[in-house]
Chains A and B, each alone.
Chain A
């Protein structure tokens, strides 16, 4: 079955850019009509959706983070990536990648059915 694994630096300095990669195994990132999402969770707090990408390159972002976020996909490597610029201590969190399912019926809905284990990123000098 499909598995996702996050990777990237565990420590980022304030004002710099956080960069993470999610590697998809057990299936092609291009197969099926899936989206690929990033979600984060500060310690002791709830989930915050960051954004998603389709393999066509189409993206949607959380309006509260949109100005600082870029999500990209590399189908040749079966990976998608997150870049978050101008980070502060408030961006310290566990970052998850997830596969998303979009359904267009009477109305549109979207949920995430496969998640990576998460990676901890600390923003500190």
Chain B
């Protein structure tokens, strides 16, 4: 089964740029999606298809994907961005299914 690897935690000061990575074998050949989850709340889609943003998501959230690493970039980080972030792909194997990364806790210092 396909495996996605995320760092457990990332810390950044307010106003700086946060980069959260998602590693996977040749992940650049897949479409990567990102979710934000704040404590006690359901996940929210923040980036889909590597770099597209759903309506209502600030332009500060962007994504990229190449080689073995996909990256969620959050510019001008705010205190309200503190949350867990999960990457996700579709594994088109003989038994196709969704795969999530283990999640990254973003701490705003």
Contacts and interface: CB of A to CB of B under 8 A. Distances in A.
Nearest to A101: B48
A49 B97 contact: yes
A112 interface: yes
Contact of A46 (B29, B92, B96, B102): B102
A32 interface: no
B54 interface: yes
B30 A107 contact: yes
Chain A: interface secondary structure?
Answer: strand
A53 to B, nearest CB: 13
B101 to A, nearest CB: 8
B95 interface: yes
B31 A47 contact: no
Interface residues of A, number: 26
Range, interface on chain B:
20 to 34
Interface string B80-109: 000000101110100111111111000000
Contacts, number: 69
B45 A47 contact: no
Contacts of B41: 117
B33 A111 contact: yes
B27 to A, nearest CB: 12
A119 to B, nearest CB: 11
A62 B41 CA distance: 23
B31 A107 contact: yes
Contacts of A62: 97-98
Contact of B29 (A107, A116, A117): A107
Given A109-B90, A115-B44, A116-B42, A47 B33 contact: no
Given A46-B100, A46-B102, A113-B45, 4 more contacts: A46-B86, A47-B37, A111-B48, A112-B35
21 contacts: A37-B98, A47-B35, A47-B37, A47-B88, A47-B103, A49-B99, A63-B95, A107-B31, A109-B31, A109-B49, A109-B89, A111-B31, A111-B48, A111-B49, A111-B88, A112-B35, A112-B43, A113-B45, A115-B44, A117-B42, A118-B42
